[in-house]
Amino acid sequence: MASDRIFGLVMALVALAYIAGATQIQTSFLPDPVGPKAFPFGVGILGALCALFMVFKPDAEPEWPTLSTFGAIAAAAFVLVLYAYALKPLGFLIPTAITAAILSYQISPRPKYAALAGLGLSCGLFIVFKFALGLGLVAFPKMIFG
């Protein structure tokens, strides 16, 4: 019970720091009814509400994951950070395929299916983001195709 409350307090502080960070986002000169801060504020507020729920209504007998599960979560977070840094120099398709394959392998350790999931997600997400949503994604590194 106490561990849930401590975790909830820590997450509430992280959510508040996230909201404070979102206030630093600069708005563009073009008028936008929602603005670029709306999504980060929404995520931060939702995170803070969830953390406060955990503080005020903790589980009576919480079951914390094992140390190996925390290691898997840390590895996934590390891969996602690397993914964020790899997007600009390597384009969208290659980092997304590698990241999705690694995360898929963590979920179900079958290399063939993880590779197929990575390729499928990379191509599928690129089509959706580029053509359905109109985002200006670069498919491959510019050094390859100029």
HEC string of 10-52 equals HHHHHHHHHHHHHCCCCCCCCCCCCCCCHHHHHHHHHHHHHHH
What pLDDT score was predicted for residue 32?
65
Exposure string of 31-44, with b = 16+ CB inside 10 Å and e = fewer, is eeeeeebeebeeeb
What pLDDT score was predicted for residue 116?
96
What pLDDT score was predicted for residue 31?
64
Question: Quick check: 73 and 55 in contact, CB under 8 A?
Answer: no
User: Half-sphere exposure (CA, 13 Å, Cβ side) for 115?
Assistant: 2
pLDDT in tens, 74-99: 999 999 999 999 998 999 999 999 99
Q: Residue ranges of the chain with pLDDT lower than 70?
A: 28-34, 145-146
What pLDDT score was predicted for residue 37?
78
What pLDDT score was predicted for residue 80?
95
Question: Rounded distance, CA 98 to CA 38, Å?
Answer: 30
The candidate with the shortest Cα–Cα distance to 40, out of 14, 13, 20, is 20
Cβ neighbour number for residue 77 with a 10 Å cutoff: 10
Q: Give the global pTM.
A: 0.66
